[in-house]
Structure 1
């Protein structure tokens, strides 16, 4: 039984370590893109009157961001941006 507990602890520790490594790698391949999410579909930070994910009030809200693959933000459509495309900063 002692060996079973040790093996379980080792397996759990390994799983936690692996998941901790993969999260930063995944985040590194993404970027915050403002002005591209639809109402209620933002990932976070939708400005005053909102709290976080899923709280944007309008489509293409200029201060709401969505995580997108790195390098693609400025190619995505934004109907509220002066360029017509997503922005890397709130506008």
Structure 2
């Protein structure tokens, strides 16, 4: 009975230690502003048209004047750009 508990504990611990490394993407080197993808109330900083100067004030989803920071190259993927390079798996 004790060996069952020990194996369960080992499995749970190894799962916790491995899972975060698989779920975390590469750390971005550069960020870009991506307009038109922010959800209502989830924008970063002020609107591009100057209608407000604070984060979290987007009045609707996907407004052209509201933006969020995304890793460089991501915005083109979201707005219909094409992938021009593929990173090899490690």
TM-score by length of 2: 0.50
Partner of 1:61, secondary structure, is coil
Partner of 2:53, secondary structure, is coil
TM-fit CA distance, 1:50: 2.3
* Aligned twin of 2:77: 75
Instruction: Say whether residues 1:59 and 2:31 are aligned partners.
Output: no
Tell me if structure 1 keeps the 8 A contact 2:28–2:71: no
Q: Matched residue pairs, number?
A: 53
Tell me if structure 1 keeps the 8 A contact 2:33–2:68: yes
Instruction: Return the alpha-carbon distance in structure 1 between the equivalents of residues 63 and 72 of structure 2.
Output: 20
Q: Which deviates the most, 55-64 or 43-52?
A: 43-52
TM-fit CA distance, 1:51: 2.5
User: What does residue range 3-22 of structure 1 map to in structure 2 within 5 Å?
Assistant: none
* Aligned twin of 2:32: 31
Instruction: Return the alpha-carbon distance in structure 2 between the equivalents of residues 44 and 58 of structure 1.
Output: 15
Q: Name stretches of at least 5 consecutive residues in structure 2 with no aligned partner.
A: 1-26, 81-90
Larger radius of gyration: 2
- Over the aligned positions, Cα root-mean-square deviation in angstroms equals 2.2
Q: Name stretches of at least 5 consecutive residues in structure 1 with no aligned partner.
A: 1-25, 77-84, 87-91
Instruction: Return the alpha-carbon distance in structure 2 between the equivalents of residues 39 and 65 of structure 1.
Output: 11
